[in-house]
Amino acid sequence: TDFWREDLPRSKTKSDKDLVQIISMMKGVTHALLSLSGHDPTHWDAVGEVGRQIDDFPLPRLTGSRSTSDHSRQRDDSTMMILREVLPLAALISDRFKRTKRIADASAGFPPVFSAPVQTMRQALARAAGPAARFMETLLLVDQQFQKRRFQLNAIQFSDIEHGALALLDQEEIRADYLEKYQEIYIDEYQDTSSIQDALVRRISDSNLLMVGDIKQSIYRFRYANPSLFAGYEANSCLVFAGQTPPPLGPQESGYLALLNRCFRTRPTIIDFINDFFQSFLTRESGEIDYDESQKLMADQDKWQAYDSQDQGQWPTGVFLDLATSLKGSPDTEGEEGEEKDPDQAPLDSLLPADLTLTATGQEALMAARIIRDLVERGVGYDQIAILLPTNNHCRVYEESLALCGIPVTSRSGRFFPDSLVFRQVEALLSVLDNPRQDIPLLSFMMGPFASDPWTGEELLTLANLEDGSLEASPGKSAKRRLTFHDKFFSLARTTDQALSPKARDLAARIDRWRFLAQELDSSDLLDLVFSECNYHD
């Protein structure tokens, strides 16, 4: 502009001269830096040499509202441009000029990293290497001692299993055996896979792995999930579509990518809203991914057009909002004096016991029963109605409530057994027959009715207090390892010099016999046999 070419060079004021000095100096710096572009380790020190030319940065003061002349406004605009676009470059390559508060504020986040020579940085790294190595050494020693202590207590962490498995699979013979064992490997929710889990999968797979995931649904980073792994596989895969013959993989492609983004259960208007909402803010900077075409949901337009073209008079459409109030057990059941009760609710209430107090979930179940009854009266079949619930406990409450209302129910919640002494005793029996080396089930079994001579608390305390050296170590177990309760029990059964040895031997023989029969009998026949031998029916 004329201001830069003519007005500034002719000006005699100090502010204009300072501005000319900065512009001239940074023009030379820029030309010098352009000649140093490219990957060359010698360029680092050369950039530092260029930066040492900047020994002063005389930035003019802003006149602001104190002057209304065009010249002053143009000088202020030039000064602001230098603050925003030129000063950060100068701050990165030089530490020689004085950083006033105004310059320090404008150059925040741009430290003079290029001002230190390579040799100086190498010396600093060498000085830091010793303390860093000692810290890592201490950390590894602490981890080794912690692991040793855990193993002495016969304790193990899940991470121990992971790292142990990885160490085994690093042995080529073991890895080859597992590579032959699996023809195909399918893994869901891969966005929540940790780095070590990914390494384990890679050890046992070879072009036979199918992973399914959605990086937008990754919620387990606190458990070391690494969603960038799945994102990396996605970025380095060849995109294929249904009905397409997969093309050969390129040199940088590790597999094939199929997008499962078609949503069959949601109307297009909702899909459009979801896409618009997430596209407005979900970017790689804010959420590690760009909400682009590969992430957007797609509605099944054909399905909904066909659905809307049919006569939907007999089918309920839309969204219903029902509040679980004025139901049995609710504080609002009685209503105000003289208020009429809901006539539609009375038939359902009459089916429930008079002394029954419903929980909040039970009240919701009654609300669902009323809606189901209305749907059935409109011609909807029971087999066309589904209720989605968060937990099995909710399912059981709904099953009981709907059954009381005469509504047939099919659920995947499984059979529900009440918490009682009988069920706990049978559960302990089955746990011991499945694996007797479990302390708590074994304790319950020893004190329960399935032991021919139940153990007393004093006998259990005597067994627990036996010194490890007075017992015979289990086959394959190290004598130095601290024995657990089940180890002590089975070791006691093998000894002959302890007062409780015969009792332990008899009970261990009974367990072995029932476990042998469990291989031949089904569960019901085995329990009938156990109950009969123990007179449990009585």
Of residues 319 and 384, more confidently modeled = 384
Give the pLDDT score at 168. Answer: 96
**pLDDT band, very low/low/confident/very high, at 312 (cuts 50, 70, 90):** low
Query: Are residues 384 and 328 part of one domain?
Result: yes
Q: Which residue has the tokens 């500034």?
A: 8
If you write DSSP's letter for every residue of 431-465 in order, what string do you get? HHHH-S--HHHHHHHHHSTTSSSPPPHHHHHHHHT
The helix (run of H) or strand (run of E) holding residue 256 is: strand 255-257
Query: Are residues 524 and 478 part of one domain?
Result: yes
Query: Are residues 434 and 522 part of one domain?
Result: yes
Find out whether 306 and 371 touch, Cβ atoms under 8 Å: no
Q: What share of the chain is helix, strand, coil (3-state, %, to 5)?
A: 55, 5, 40
The helix (run of H) or strand (run of E) holding residue 28 is: helix 14-34
List of long-range contacts for 466-474, beta carbons under 8 Å, 24+ apart: 466/492, 466/498, 470/495, 470/498, 471/495
Q: Which residue has the tokens 């006033």?
A: 100
Query: Are residues 11 and 82 part of one domain?
Result: yes
Domain holding 337: CATH number? 3.40.50
**In this structure, how many other beta carbons lie within 10 angstroms of the beta carbon of residue 526?**
19
Question: Per-residue pLDDT for 349 more than 70?
Answer: no
Instruction: State pLDDT tens for residues 189-220.
Output: 999 999 999 999 999 998 899 999 998 888 88
Query: Are residues 452 and 371 part of one domain?
Result: no
Instruction: Dig out the tokens for 164 from the structure.
Output: 């142990």
Question: Per-residue pLDDT for 530 more than 80?
Answer: yes
- Dist. CA 170–CA 178, nearest whole Å: 12
Of 260, 277, 310, the residue that ends a domain is 260
Query: Are residues 440 and 406 part of one domain?
Result: no
Query: Are residues 438 and 412 part of one domain?
Result: no
Query: Are residues 236 and 143 part of one domain?
Result: no
Find out whether 256 and 237 touch, Cβ atoms under 8 Å: yes
Arithmetic mean of pLDDT, 321-328: 52
Arithmetic mean of pLDDT, 156-184: 93
The helix (run of H) or strand (run of E) holding residue 257 is: strand 255-257
Range of the domain at 382: 320-416
**pLDDT band, very low/low/confident/very high, at 313 (cuts 50, 70, 90):** very low
Question: Per-residue pLDDT for 321 more than 80?
Answer: no
Q: Is residue 30 part of a domain?
A: yes
Select the highest-mean-pLDDT range: 29-43, 244-258, 395-409: 244-258
Query: Are residues 374 and 428 part of one domain?
Result: no
Of 155, 181, 209, the residue that ends a domain is 155
The H helix count followed by the E strand count for the chain is 24, 6
**pLDDT band, very low/low/confident/very high, at 319 (cuts 50, 70, 90):** low
Q: Is residue 493 part of a domain?
A: yes
Q: Is residue 269 part of a domain?
A: no
Q: Which whole-number Å values give the CA distances from 235 to 214, 226, 253, 282, 290, in the listed order?
A: 13, 15, 9, 17, 12
Arithmetic mean of pLDDT, 149-169: 90
- Dist. CA 364–CA 370, nearest whole Å: 10
Strand ranges, E, within 337-438: none
Question: Per-residue pLDDT for 311 more than 60?
Answer: no
Which of 286, 261, 285 lies closest to 274 in space, CA to CA? Answer: 261
Amino acid at 316: P
Of 362, 381, 416, the residue that ends a domain is 416
Question: Per-residue pLDDT for 167 more than 70?
Answer: yes
- For residue 538, the SS3 value is coil
- Dist. CA 264–CA 179, nearest whole Å: 37
Give the pLDDT score at 510. Answer: 93
Mean pLDDT of all residues belonging to the chain: 82
Arithmetic mean of pLDDT, 492-506: 90
Instruction: State pLDDT tens for residues 72-104.
Output: 777 777 778 877 888 888 888 888 777 778 778
Angle at 184 (CA atoms; ends 178, 189), nearest 5 degrees? 105
Picking from 146-155, 233-242, 308-317, 338-347, which range would have the lowest pLDDT averaged per residue? 338-347
Amino acid at 257: L
Picking from 94-108, 137-151, 251-265, 292-306, which range would have the lowest pLDDT averaged per residue? 94-108
- Dist. CA 455–CA 492, nearest whole Å: 14
Give the pLDDT score at 59. Answer: 72
Query: Are residues 516 and 429 part of one domain?
Result: yes
- Dist. CA 183–CA 234, nearest whole Å: 23
- Dist. CA 271–CA 119, nearest whole Å: 58
What are the φ and ψ backbone dihedral angles of 523, each rounded to 5 degrees? -60, -45
Of residues 95 and 419, more confidently modeled = 95
Q: Is residue 474 part of a domain?
A: yes
**pLDDT band, very low/low/confident/very high, at 136 (cuts 50, 70, 90):** very high
Instruction: State pLDDT tens for residues 13-52.
Output: 777 777 777 777 888 888 888 887 766 767 888 888 888 8
Q: Is residue 527 part of a domain?
A: yes
Instruction: State pLDDT tens for residues 457-467.
Output: 999 999 988 87
Find out whether 372 and 407 touch, Cβ atoms under 8 Å: yes
Q: Is residue 412 part of a domain?
A: yes
Domain holding 443: CATH number? 1.10.486.10
Q: Is residue 253 part of a domain?
A: yes
Query: Are residues 516 and 500 part of one domain?
Result: yes
How many structural domains comprise the chain? 5
Question: Per-residue pLDDT for 185 more than 90?
Answer: yes
Share of the chain above pLDDT 90, in %: 29
Residue 411, CB-side half-sphere exposure with 13 Å CA sphere: 23
- Dist. CA 496–CA 60, nearest whole Å: 98
Question: Per-residue pLDDT for 155 more than 50?
Answer: yes
Query: Are residues 481 and 430 part of one domain?
Result: yes
Question: Per-residue pLDDT for 293 more than 80?
Answer: yes
Give the pLDDT score at 480. Answer: 47
Q: Is residue 309 part of a domain?
A: no
Domain holding 248: CATH number? 3.40.50.300
pTM of whole model > 0.75?
Answer: no
List of long-range contacts for 250-255, beta carbons under 8 Å, 24+ apart: 255/207, 255/209
Amino acid at 340: E
Give the pLDDT score at 411. Answer: 78
Question: Per-residue pLDDT for 503 more than 70?
Answer: yes
